A and B are shown apart, each in its own frame.
Chain A
């Protein structure tokens, strides 16, 4: 479980985030949505501990994260960024092994023999045949799967996703989110995901948090959150909202203005 209590973030005298207060129960997926510049990524950086919080606290297992060392935090929490992995000359196996870094001592010795874990995860993600290929020989979609594999090898309790599907086509977007959901269900993973695609967010998240100009506007189930008035107010566009014919999740149809921009 993760709890965010009244956090604020300033850069010099500019306020980027304020009055953020929520919690995510074990095994659930919280989606953070909001327009560009609303502070979504900053919030994720605060939770992942790479940026200091100005005031307020974030608790993981009832311990404020500033009490954790960098290494301890990484044993609990993994992050997958939108740009994924750079095209380097490492093999897929070597990159997956990097996921064990938080569990290795300075000699590089792991707490457990990770080879079985790595091969199991590679099989789940259909990467087994690619294990000895180099990262720079893979496609973007395959590379993002390797990035997912690397955080799975980390065996975290909490996963932070920062627009992980941005550079993927629709097939890989769905495939990626399906892998994540399967992992969530099997391991009771808690997820906080910044997603800019509202339809994807409504399909895969149990709860949605809306950020607007650095403030928390609303939090609730996708059905409560994705509604005409709120989307219009926060995103400044008037969409058509319908129910998904199969699973009932709210989905947004985009509607261009007939006369163009005035």
Chain B
């Protein structure tokens, strides 16, 4: 177990660093690949002499003020989404579960659409109006879904999923109504719904990172519980797990992470569903490995998708949700196919 984790984790971190450098290099102004890490390391006081300044000031400005913060926010959003995707799939024991299963994204969308529709997006707390309202309505939705699913103090998984689906349908209709009522603001609501990382500076990274760090620690702490959960809820209880409490804590944690990510970036689909599956196909069913690698993989995946989103049709930006699905689905299909083949050759 530890060897697998070190091997894949080490490889993942290297891939992450490489991806960050390449993605920060690409843009309207190309920065030479090797200068990217040099510029970043130059900022650390005692490394200034090791990496002497050989680049124009503009490079430094572009990298540190625009590209790197965007890449970091992408990493955080991707990590949050796929980490909570892994948690949802584990705790609900449902391969179709993703961070949005319980309606958090729909709730957040209603809040955001409402604010945008009435043109209030810079009024309450400046640029934070949409994120704040989206976060609050997302959490409220989860609370409603749980209330709806509860039965004698327990939350049966099937009821929970059904409640989430019903809530998504209802709130989705509400968002559609707001979109159809507004003619001039249509693009802004739609664009928020499809997700984007443009204009997200360091402050957004600052807001997101505590959610990711605390969420990661909690989900990691419950990774063995997720393994046991795979045997079924009753067997998990027989092994000494407090099933209802574990469900509640993991669902809450995953939801908070999701709500934070969605309120910053809009609803980016597919990452939370596909990355954990991808990791599972690569490393097997052990959540002690799936959880950390999902966070890593989600971050990498999101940064690559965002770079494609902003560079393929530059200067037009493609909605991020479109890109994540476009590159994710075929790759996943390939992995599924390869997995089927190795299974056959084994038996």
Contact = CB atoms under 8 A, between A and B. Distances in A.
Interface string B232-269: 10110111111000000000000000000000000000
Contacts of B230: 86, 88, 90
Interface residues of A, number: 29
Given A75-B240, A89-B285, A90-B285, A50 B231 contact: no
Interface in A70-108: 70-75, 78-79, 81, 85-86, 88-90, 94, 98-99, 101-102, 104, 106-108
Nearest to A106: B221
Range of interface residues on chain B? 20 to 34
B52 interface: no
B237 A70 contact: yes
Contact of A101 (B232, B241, B284, B288): B241
Interface in A43-93: 48-50, 69-75, 78-79, 81, 85-86, 88-90
A154 interface: yes
Contacts of B346: 137
Most buried by A among B221, B227, B238, B239: B238
B224 interface: yes
Interface string B97-133: 0000000000000000000000000000000000000
A28 to B, nearest CB: 22
A131 B224 CA distance: 19
Contact of A73 (B234, B235, B240, B284): B240
Given A89-B285, A90-B285, A94-B286, A101 B231 contact: no
B5 to A, nearest CB: 12
Contact of B227 (A72, A86, A90, A107): A90
B220 to A, nearest CB: 10
B68 interface: no
B284 A74 contact: no
B228 interface: yes
Q: What are the 7 tightest A-B residue pairs by CB atom distance, in nearest-first order?
A: A74-B240, A102-B240, A71-B240, A89-B285, A79-B238, A101-B239, A50-B237
Interface of B: 1, 221, 224, 227-228, 230-232, 234-235, 237-242, 284-286, 288, 346-347
Given A72-B240, A73-B240, 11 more contacts: A71-B242, A74-B238, A79-B235, A79-B238, A86-B231, A88-B230, A89-B285, A90-B230, A98-B239, A101-B241, A106-B221
Interface of A: 48-50, 69-75, 78-79, 81, 85-86, 88-90, 94, 98-99, 101-102, 104, 106-108, 137, 154
13 contacts: A48-B237, A48-B238, A70-B241, A71-B240, A75-B240, A79-B238, A88-B285, A90-B230, A90-B285, A94-B286, A101-B224, A102-B240, A107-B221
